[in-house]
Amino acid sequence: MKKESKVTPWEVSGKVDYQRLIKEFGLSKIDEKLLKKIEKCTGELHFMLRRGLFFAHRDLDFALEQYEKKNLFLYTGCGPSGPIHIGHAFIWEFVRWLQEKFDLDLWFQFTDDEKFLLNKDKSYKEIQEWMYENMLDIIAIGFNPKKTHFLIDTKHAGLMYPEAIKVAKKINFSMVKSSFGFTNQTNLGMIFFTSVQAVPAFLPCVIKKKKLACLIPHAVDQDPHFRLTRDILPKLGYYKPSSIQALFLPPLTGSEGKMSSSKDMNLLMTDSPKEIERKIKKYAFSGGQKTIEEHRKKGGNPDIDVSYQYLKMFFEPDDDKLKQIYEDYKSGKITTSELKDYLIKKINAYLKKHQERRKEAKKLIDKFIFSE
């Protein structure tokens, strides 16, 4: 990875070199053999697997073995500090697919404590309001209400804090200093927090009084938390959680960093069709040429074109269609403007359905929030 790039749970900046990240974090690449194993369980491969968007893992083989013994659950999460954007939905659409295909319980953590502790300028109330809004989007993604359990770090602290301290007892300041780049100026809540993030990886074992295995689908920036979790859990008598890790959905403006709620240039789940159109047309980084004439002659570069990347990563599941677009854009047969129009249509079709389901989600919240 270039020196200027940075990947931590709280900051992703610069051009991310995923091959280097695999080496640096000590991840395993998802290879053909493993894909075959998944396909054996699910009957099909999600395009995000086929296209290498979920590209790395830890002990996924073990998770699949445990699945066959009906001994596996899923754990993922949301940090509620702003609106949900398509970078979040990208991960969760895959999680939903996993839940459906493997028929698994999913424990969904809301790290409202972390987001409050991290953001100097955000009040507790503001975070709680965002959490409510975020829950609506997550429900609208279509998770199974019977098998999905929302865990809220503050609301469920009665359940989680007694478990978190068991983790915390085994982690010292040196360890979080090197894992997260903490300093003497880091606040006590942030220092403690990784213990809380570890809890859903074994809480279902506590609740169900059974030694279950855990699979965590997540974007690769969360890996430092789960590296620590994996070190600690066997000491508490649990399995190391497995993980399956995704690339970052790039921001509109190009391929450095990741899409973020805190910046203006993102695509929100609540954006109107007009807003999506405006943002894509104005900001989406283009791999096309400066003039149409030049584009027709030289062709565009889909590999750096953000619109093409969004189709590949999220909005065009059809491999044949995607291939055609790739070739047509590369040859100059379709222009950037046409490519953007196609993406806008795709996104707006997706969001239309999402927003309809979102309206219904309010009624379902109580079904999703875990209660003993």
Residues at the contact surface with a copy of itself, assessed by CB under 8 A: 113, 116-117, 124, 153-162, 164-166, 168-174, 176-177, 182-189, 191-192, 194-195
Q: Tell me the C-alpha distance between 330 and 201, whole Å.
A: 44
- 22, two tokens: 């695999």
* Cβ atoms within 10 Å, residue 25: 17
Closer of 62 and 161 to a copy of itself (Cβ)? 161
In the bound complex, what is the minimum distance in angstroms from residue 10's beta carbon to a copy of itself? 15
Closer of 196 and 313 to a copy of itself (Cβ)? 196
Residue type, 346: K
Contacts of 78 (CB under 8 A, 6+ apart): 84, 88, 108, 109, 110, 111, 134, 138
Q: How many Cα atoms are found within 13 Å in the side-chain-facing hemisphere of 268?
A: 17
- 191, two tokens: 């220092």
In the bound complex, what is the minimum distance in angstroms from residue 206's beta carbon to a copy of itself? 12
Closer of 165 and 292 to a copy of itself (Cβ)? 165
Closer of 171 and 280 to a copy of itself (Cβ)? 171
Would residue 28 be called left, alpha or beta, if left means φ above 0 and alpha means ψ between -120 and 50 degrees? beta
Closer of 173 and 352 to a copy of itself (Cβ)? 173
- The H or E element that residue 216 is part of is strand 213-219
- The H or E element that residue 75 is part of is strand 72-78
In the bound complex, what is the minimum distance in angstroms from residue 163's beta carbon to a copy of itself? 9
In the bound complex, what is the minimum distance in angstroms from residue 197's beta carbon to a copy of itself? 12
Question: At 235, is the secondary structure helix, strand, or coil?
Answer: helix
Closer of 153 and 277 to a copy of itself (Cβ)? 153
Q: Report whether 314 contacts 86 (CB < 8 A).
A: yes
In the bound complex, what is the minimum distance in angstroms from residue 107's beta carbon to a copy of itself? 18
Closer of 162 and 234 to a copy of itself (Cβ)? 162
In the bound complex, what is the minimum distance in angstroms from residue 204's beta carbon to a copy of itself? 19
Q: Report whether 329 contacts 300 (CB < 8 A).
A: yes
